[in-house]
Amino acid sequence: MTNQHCVNKMLFVVAFVFRNMPGDRAPDVFLVKKNPRRANMAWQRDLWNGVGGGVNPGESPYDASKREWREETTIEPNHFQGWRCFAVETGRNYQLYCFRADVAANFLSTDTWPKYNDANEMMAWLNMADMDKHHVLGNLRWMLPLALDPRGFSEPVHYQPMSDISARPTWGYMGESRG
């Protein structure tokens, strides 16, 4: 699907790459600690999120997710398995396509993954079991488990947000307020 299907909406993508480590640990997810340059994205500052960005005119969300991954991490997404859209969020003036993929634990050691992206934002593997210890964007608390759902949906889950996440980006963060 190209962005011609959503004429009046801005299109965005976000991608999450998971790895399973040996043992009984929960999977890790590769995230970016946001430090946006644009004022309209300042609400994400210092929150962990997936790798993503905008969809260019004539570009499919699928291609945009791989381009954004490549641009921000310098890692070719063809090293991953199961790159697919698992959810689509439709807001008042935007659509967000959410992608997920898996990587073998031995593909690039932790030391060789990039520590910063092209915008000088920190990137790291975070363990899913420790997600409550990190300041993550609020919707990741349910979005990441959805991405890992073992049922393997044949079509993406479509949803509409009840409110603007930028007004309360850390909702669901137990007992913590962000001043």
Task: Specify the CATH number for the domain of residue 79.
Answer: 3.90.79.10
- Whether residue 164 lies inside any domain: the answer is no
In terms of residue numbers, what domain contains 40?
3-149
Greatest CA separation for the chain: 47
pLDDT band per the 50, 70, 90 thresholds, residue 109: low
- Whether residue 174 lies inside any domain: the answer is no
- Whether residue 108 lies inside any domain: the answer is yes
- Whether residue 15 lies inside any domain: the answer is yes
pLDDT digits (tens, 9 = 90+) for 72-89: 998 888 888 999 999 999
The helix (H) or strand (E) run that includes residue 18 is strand 10-19
Exposure string of 77-95, with b = 16+ CB inside 10 Å and e = fewer, is: beebeebbbbbbbeeeeeb
Domains identified in the chain, total number? 1
Residues 6 or more apart whose Cβ sits within 8 Å of residue 124: 30, 31, 33, 115
Task: Report pLDDT for 147.
Answer: 94
Model-level pTM?
Answer: 0.84
pLDDT digits (tens, 9 = 90+) for 21-56: 777 678 999 999 988 676 567 777 888 999 999 999
- Whether residue 179 lies inside any domain: the answer is no
- Whether residue 168 lies inside any domain: the answer is no
Residues 6 or more apart whose Cβ sits within 8 Å of residue 63: none
